Amino acid sequence: MRITSLLGHTAPSQPGKFFSILGAALLTTVSLAQAGNPDVTTYHNDRQRTGWNNQESLLTPTTVAGTSFQKLATVVLDEQVDAQPLYVARQPIEGKGVHNTVYVATENNSVYAIDAQTGTILLHRNFGVPVPLSAIPGGCPNNVRSVGINSTPVIDPAAGTLYVLTYNYGTKQPTYYFHALDLSTLKDKVARKMASGSATLTDGTVFPFSSATNRQRAALLLSHKTVYAAFTSFCDNIPSKTRGWILGFQTGTAKPNSGMIANKLATSPKSYFLSTIWMSGYGLATDQYENIYFVTGNSDPTNTQFYPNNLAESVVKLTPDLAHVASYFTPGTAATGRQALDQSDLDFGAGGAMIIPNQPGKYPRLTVAAGKVGTMYLMNQLSLGGYTNGSDNVLQTVDIGQCYCGPSYYQGADGVGRVISSGGQKVKVWKIVTSPTGAPQLVQESESPPITSGQDSGFFTSVTSNGTTAGSQVIWGLSRPNRQNPSAIQLYAFDPNAGGGQAKTIFIGNAGVWPDSDGNANLVPMVTNGHVYVASYKQLTIFGLAKAGTAARTVAEPQVATAIEEAAPALPGHVVYGKLIAVQGTTLTLETRSGEHLTVDPAVAKKNETENLPIIGRAYQARGEYDRQGVLHAVALQRVKDQAELWKADR
C-alpha cells in the first residue's frame, strides 16, 4: 500500500482499494479514499438538490473545530468560477494513473481536472474565446469582464462523461455550445452542438431561442436521458425579446430538443416579457418521476396575464418532455403578490426549489422554495398550490430572511428530516414535523449567529454527516464579500446540534476573493472524502485535516493558455454609482457616494432596453456621456448592490 502526502500523490497499485488512517501522526489526506467517498457529480449533490453528503466520517464537529482542520492548497485557475466544483473518486486520467479528481469550470471557457488531494492540475482544456462584456446587452455589470461557462456542469459517472455549456465569441456572435467530455481526457465524445430551440406563442408565432440575449446560469440537470439547461436574462435587459427558457440535449447524441419558454404571451402592454429562470445559480431539480422543478422571476408588472401562458413569479413543475406544466404555485397575497413583486424587484426567482426526500405522514412528497421576499413556502409536490388571489395556498409559510440562496436537507439521528435555510445572514434548521392526518409543519430547531456577508442577502450551504449518527452533522456555508477591498469570501462551518436552539459556529476561514462585486458570489462549498472545495476568483481552495502547522501549498500550471484579451477595453462612456432618490418625469436623480446629486436622462437606455426598473432607494450604475449642463445621458442604467462599500470606482 502506498501513501499520499500533502505535497505529492501516488496512484495505488489497485485502483479503488481503500486506505486506512495509520494513526494520529499521519495526515488524514493520506488515503485515496475513505470508506465513505461519494462522487459529487451534480450541483448540490443530487438531483433533488439536498446538498447532503451522508457518508462523511472524517469531518465532524469535533475535528472541524480542532486545529488540524485548515487550508491545504490553493490551485491557480485562469478566471473566475461561478460553477460548483464536481468530484469523481478513483478516476483514471489518461497517461497519469488513477486519482480522486475535482472538475472545475471557469468563465474563461476552461475545464480543469485537478487531483483532489494535492491540487495538482491533471488536465486543462480551453473551449475558445468567451463572450466579452461589450457584446452583452447593456454591458450588464452582473458579470465578469467575459462570460464563458457560467453554470455548474453535470457528470454521468456510468458513461464517464461530463456535460457542459460554453458561451463562445469565436464568430463574433454570442453562441452557446453543448459539450459531452470524456472524464479521462476532457476530449469531446461527440461533436459539440450549438444550443437551439423554438416555442410557439399564443398567437401561433414560432419564437426562436437566441444565444445573444439569454444567460445560462442555473446548474445543469441530468435526468430522463437528457441534460436540461435553463436560461435567464442579462440584467433584465432586452425584455421585448428575452424570456425564460429550458432546453434539453440528448445524452447519447447531444442533439438539442425543441425547448420550452416560461412566457408564451404574444403581446404585452409594454412589450416586456422575461419570466426567466436564474435561481442565483441553484439547479433545476427533479422528483422520483423525473418531473422538473424551477422558480421564475418577474415579467411586466402592468400585465395581468399569468398562468397558463405566463409563468412569472412561480414555482413550476414541468413534465420531462418539456410539454406540460403539471403543477405550479404563485404567491397570491394582494400586497405582496406577483404584481407587487414585479414592481419592487422582489422576484421569487432569486432562490431555487428543493425536492424533500419522501417523508412519513399524509403528505409524503414535499418541496420548499424562497426568494427575495424572504418567505419560504412548504408545498405538496402533487399540487403545488396554484394561484389564489389574496392568499397562499400552500402547506405552510415561514420567514427565513431575504434569499438569494437555496435550501439544503439532512436527516437527524431521530430519523426526522430537517430543512436548512440560509436567507439573510443566518443558517436556520427546520425540523419537519409530520402527521398521519394533517399537514406537515416546519418547526425551527436551531439558528446560527449572523455571518459576515455582503452583496445581496442570503448565501449557500451544504451539509455532511456520518449517516444519521448523532452529533456528526456539519453545515457548511460561504459568505459573500461585504466590501471592495478586501473582497474576501469566508468558509463557515456550523454544528446544528450544539443545544439551546443554537447552530454553533465551529470554523471560519478565508476561502478566496471575489472582486466582481456587482455579480453575486453564488458559491457552494463541495464536501467529500474529508475535504472541502471552494472555487472563487481564479482559484480553487482545498480544506481538510492535516498536521498542526502544515503550510498550505499553491499549485499553478507553468504556462496557462488564455483566451481572454489581457487588457479588455472598458465599455465606452462615464460610469457613476448612486442611489435613486427621485424620479421627475423622464429624468432621474442619483445620490452618489460623495453625497452629490446627479441628474440622469435615461432616454437612450430606455430605447435600447437597457434601463432596469427604476425603484426609489435602490442603487444603480449609470453609464453614458455628460452634456454641458452636467446631465448624464445614460446608454445603460443597471441595478447594482445597495452597499456603497461594494461599488466600483466611478469614471
| Count of Cβ atoms closer than 10 Å to residue 78 Cβ | 22
The CA distance from 275 to 114, in Å, is 37
Amino acid in the structure at residue 605: A
Question: Phi and psi (nearest 5°) for 63?
Answer: -70, -35
Q: Which stretches of the chain drop beneath a pLDDT of 50?
A: 1-33, 334-339, 560-567
Determine the pLDDT at residue 563. 47
Beta-carbon contacts of 501 under 8 Å, excluding residues fewer than 6 positions away, are: 444, 445, 446, 447
Q: What is the pLDDT of residues 411-447, one digit of tens each?
A: 999 999 999 999 999 999 999 999 999 999 999 999 9
Cα end-to-end span (Å), the chain: 61
Which three cell numbers, joined as nine digits, stand for 234?
442579462
The CA distance from 444 to 400, in Å, is 10
Beta bridge partners of 316: 294, 328
The CA distance from 458 to 456, in Å, is 7
Strand order in the sheet with 226-231: 221-223, 226-231, 245-250, 260-261
Determine the pLDDT at residue 300. 84
Determine the pLDDT at residue 568. 54
Gyration radius of the chain's alpha carbons:
24
Contact present, 182 and 161 (Cβ < 8 Å): yes
- Assigned fold of 28-555: Methanol Dehydrogenase; Chain A (2.140.10)
Handedness of CA 126, 131, 134, 140 (dihedral sign): negative
The CA distance from 112 to 121, in Å, is 7
User: Which residue in 510, 610, 592, 543 sits closest to 235, CA to CA?
Assistant: 610
Determine the pLDDT at residue 391. 86
Beta bridge partners of 206: 200
Number of helices (H) and strands (E) in the chain: give both, helices first: 3, 42
Q: What is the pLDDT of residues 356-389, one digit of tens each?
A: 999 999 999 999 999 999 999 999 999 999 998 8
Using the CB atoms, write b or e for 187-217: b if 16+ within 10 Å.
eebeebbebbbebebeeeeebebbbebbbbb
The CA distance from 283 to 46, in Å, is 10
Please state whether the peptide bond connecting residue 486 to the residue before it is cis, i.e. omega within 30 degrees of 0.
yes
Dmax over CA atoms of the chain, in Å, equals 78
Query: How far, CA to CA in Å, does 504 sit from each of 466, 518, 524?
Result: 19, 31, 20
Query: How far, CA to CA in Å, does 534 sit from each of 193, 250, 460, 556?
Result: 30, 30, 12, 16
The CA distance from 606 to 594, in Å, is 27
Determine the pLDDT at residue 23. 29
DSSP letter at 519 equals: S
Which three cell numbers, joined as nine digits, stand for 328?
405550479
Q: Which helix (H) or strand (E) holds 441?
A: strand 441-447
Domain 575-646, CATH homologous superfamily name and number: Nucleic acid-binding proteins (2.40.50.140)
Determine the pLDDT at residue 486. 87
CA trace torsion 101, 104, 105, 107 (10° rounding):
-150
Domain ranges of the chain: 28-555, 575-646
Beta-carbon contacts of 644 under 8 Å, excluding residues fewer than 6 positions away, are: 577, 593, 619
